A and B are shown apart, each in its own frame.
Chain A
């Protein structure tokens, strides 16, 4: 079966524009996670979905960031009014049931804000 897929793979945008990043988890995985990884840095947790609800939004860095998940499947991460410090790789992962299960990561979306 297919792994976690993300699109686009690369996104270049101008400061102030909104961007949407998409994640398609492994079919049947109920948990989905978004992370941010700045160049040369570790993974930074953003948000976690169990089904379509997000019990943990503690990592969202500001109100410019939002995420939703529909049909217990695809998720979109939206960044409004992008800033240069938003430049990073945004990684999505899914796991079968919950946070204690192994996470399978997608290839990431590299976002560059000019």
Chain B
């Protein structure tokens, strides 16, 4: 079954601290993996996209990693800011078939002062 599992479900950290969000997937055939950020009341916005051959990709203070062998990805946020408070969604694209996109349920991050 094609699934994307994210952990933790929610996380509270102090401003300035780092954190890592996890994404495990059982999706095939794998095409790419994206991390989205969704602010409350807004639509998701893409942060990074990685294909099978990419291990790491950065976007400012966000760094995503991908291990295609273990089917795991992580999103590391450095020096967190209050504006990082949002839901972070992991999405895996399939190369074929129905349900081309499989969404995780997201990790809700709260950064507090």
Residues of A within 8 A of B (CB): 4, 33, 41-45, 48, 56, 58-59, 91, 93, 99-100, 102-108
CB distance from A95 to the nearest CB of B (A): 10
Contacts of A44 in B (CB 8 A): 103
12 CB < 8 A contacts A-B: A4-B43, A33-B101, A41-B105, A43-B89, A56-B99, A56-B100, A58-B98, A58-B99, A103-B101, A104-B46, A105-B45, A108-B43
Q: How large is the interface on B (under 10, 10 to 19, 20 to 34, 35 or more residues)?
A: 20 to 34
* Complex contacts, A58 vs chain B, CB 8 Å: 98-99
Interface on B for A, CB 8 Å cutoff?
Answer: 31-32, 34, 41-46, 49, 89, 93, 95, 98-101, 103-106
Instruction: Judge whether A99 and B42 touch: CB under 8 Å.
Output: no
A59 to B99, CA, bound (A): 8
Q: Which A residues lie within 8 Å of B45 (CB)? A: 105
Task: List the 3 closest pairs (A to B, CB-CB), nearest first.
Answer: A105-B43, A42-B105, A99-B100
Q: Which residue of A lies closest to B95 (CB)?
A: A100
Cα distance A43–B105 when bound, in Å? Answer: 7
Alpha-carbon separation in the docked complex, A104 to B44 (Å): 8
Contact A56 B105 (CB under 8 A): no
| Residues on B with beta carbons closer than 8 Å to the beta carbon of A93 | 43
Query: Contact at A102–B49, with CB atoms within 8 Å?
Result: yes
